[in-house]
Amino acid sequence: MELSRTHHVLLFPFPAKGHIKPFFSLAQLLCNAGLHVTFLNTDHHHRRIHDLNRLAAQLPTLHFDSVSDGLPPDEPRDVPDRKLCESIRQVTSSLFRELLVSYNNGTSSGRPPITCVITDVMFRFPIDIAEELGIPVFTFSTFSARFLFLIFWIPKLLEDGQLRYPEQELHGVPGAEGLIRWKDLPGFWSVEDVADWDPMNFVNQTLATSRSSGLILNTFDELEAPFLTSLSKIYKKIYSLGPINSLLKNIQSQPQYNLWKEDHSCMAWLDSQPRKSVVFVSFGSVVKLTNRQLVEFWNGLVNSGKPFLLVLRSDVIEAGEEVVRENMERKAEGRWMIVSWAPQEEVLAHDAVGGFLTHSGWNSTLESLAAGVPMISWPQIGDQTSNSTWVSKVWRIGLQLEDGFDSSTIETMVRSVMDQTMEKTVAELAERAKNRASKNGTSYRNFQTLIQDITNIIETHI
């Protein structure tokens, strides 16, 4: 679908890798549909984009821009905490408004005016500002439909008096009866004391996004049908485009582009391994481990007898990393490979990979599901706990690892996941995901509808 290049969409993800990655997939989809796209990051994340000049050359209708998040350069940003969120609200919001005005006044280096904004569901101020300036706005949730719906259900839980203690099982949640605890709810993970939890902050921020022209989701209809139905009563329109990376592969003729440097040397190592023999281990871009946890993981993996590929970021563990790594490597007898950051989708799609030990972020969950790889989920923050619950209890394509584990637990779980008892179930889900993202699948058709709706809304505002 080739459109006029004057249609110019600005995408603004929340400043965290787990949000930026699916937003960048959406940006590529929009470029392929003939739209001009500006991808707006905070300065911190913009500086970390790998080979920006190459990306600009390969995607000529995609432009990168950035704004300050208001924090000093040396301020930690590993976890998007309250301090970062408050700084964005106070500082970035005014800069965002100035940027939109500069684009639409023709003072932004010759780019066409912004005719549509797609903002993260974590932000309220872009919706307020876009409305003020008369620019159509859509919302993109990089969470599951389930997790987003839970935010809207919090007032009902408060009204019913259900939120009394963290382990309490919650009742009356449509589509999630007996599967959610208070501590699984949005924002709970970020507080040190239960009394500090401010649920209505999340509710009010998210409620504002229901004023947008529509909600974009990285999911597919069959996977989260009850929650999509519930959200369709809140938002004007729902566009489920997942798995978004699978959709992009089916639409974009050239390879997908990545924002961060990846170590592809692991692919040759995987080529040398037997089919479905390797455990892939990655805890995402945020989660950190104690030395003890890493040693227990390592010993459990080694004792399982399975070869494994481990992603070990430079900042993933505490002090003493070199001593820990030396002790681990002596025990592994060469049945392993360590990389700092892997091409995760390629790894999961490789024939040698038979299991995935993951933090259970939504991107990783969908990528593993789409590749037909069962999971061991070790959730830590945000939506990860409920993702893990659905993996283990609802879809039955993995196991959930609780804190307090030891190496024997890891060993047992690895062997269970790798024994191929879940292979049929996860293969069936993978086939459904593939069909939904294929041409004429529901996600593909939803994307065509999104492009048409964006175009129609833009033209009514011109």
Mean pLDDT of 153-181: 86
Domains of the chain: 8-259+436-461 (3.40.50.2000), 265-434 (3.40.50.2000)
Closest CA to 340 of 444, 262, 422: 262
User: Do 218 and 23 form a contact (C-beta atoms < 8 A)?
Assistant: no
Local confidence band at 334 (pLDDT 50, 70, 90 cut-offs): low
Whether 143 contacts 361, CB under 8 Å: no
User: Higher confidence at residue 160 or residue 232?
Assistant: 232
* Alpha-carbon gap, residue 174 to 165, rounded angstroms: 21
Helix, coil or strand: residue 24 = helix
- Tens digit of pLDDT for each residue in 351-367? 999 999 999 999 999 99
Catalytic residue among 69, 120, 184, 221: 120
Cβ atoms within 10 Å of 12's Cβ, excluding its own: 27
On the question of a cis peptide bond just before residue 243, with omega within 30 degrees of 0, the verdict is yes
In the chain, the amino acid numbered 437 is A
- Provide the CA 316 distance to its chain's centre, in angstroms: 19
Helix (H, G, I), strand (E, B), or coil: what is residue 429? helix
Looking at residue 320, its pLDDT comes to 46
- Six-digit token pair at 387? 């993702």
Catalytic residue among 7, 19, 46, 359: 19
pLDDT for res 55:
78
**Catalytic status, residue 43:** no
Specify the amino acid at residue 67: V
Name the nearest CA neighbour of 218 among 121, 130, 136, 150. 121
- C-alpha span between 88 and 370 (Å, rounded): 34
> What percentage of the chain reaches a pLDDT higher than 70?
89
Please give the model's pTM, rounded to 2 decimal places: 0.93
pLDDT band with cut points at 50, 70 and 90 for residue 108: low
| Residue 237 burial (C-beta neighbours within 10 Å; 0-12, 13-18, 19+) | middle
The reply to whether 45 belongs to the active site is no
How far, CA to CA in Å, does 412 sit from each of 218, 339, 393, 405? 32, 24, 18, 11
Dist CA 113 CA 8 (whole Å): 7
Q: Please state, in angstroms and as integers, the Cα–Cα distance from residue 253 to each residue in 27, 31, 120, 247, 257, following that order.
A: 15, 12, 27, 12, 12
Residue 203 has pLDDT above 70, yes or no: yes
Question: What pLDDT, on a 0 to 100 scale, did the predictor assign at position 253?
Answer: 66
Q: Are 47 and 75 in contact (CB under 8 A)?
A: no
Q: From start to end of 129-240, where are the E strands?
A: 137-141, 215-217, 238-240
Tell me the one-letter amino acid at 309. Answer: L
Indicate if the pLDDT at residue 189 is higher than 50: no
Alpha helices of 280-320 — where are they, by DSSP H? 291-304
Confidence of residue 196 (pLDDT cuts 50, 70, 90): low
Q: Where does the pLDDT of residue 333 fall: very low under 50, low under 70, confident under 90, or very high at 90 and above?
A: low
Residue 133: closest CA among 106, 107, 97: 97
Q: How far apart are CA 295 and CA 293, in angstroms?
A: 5
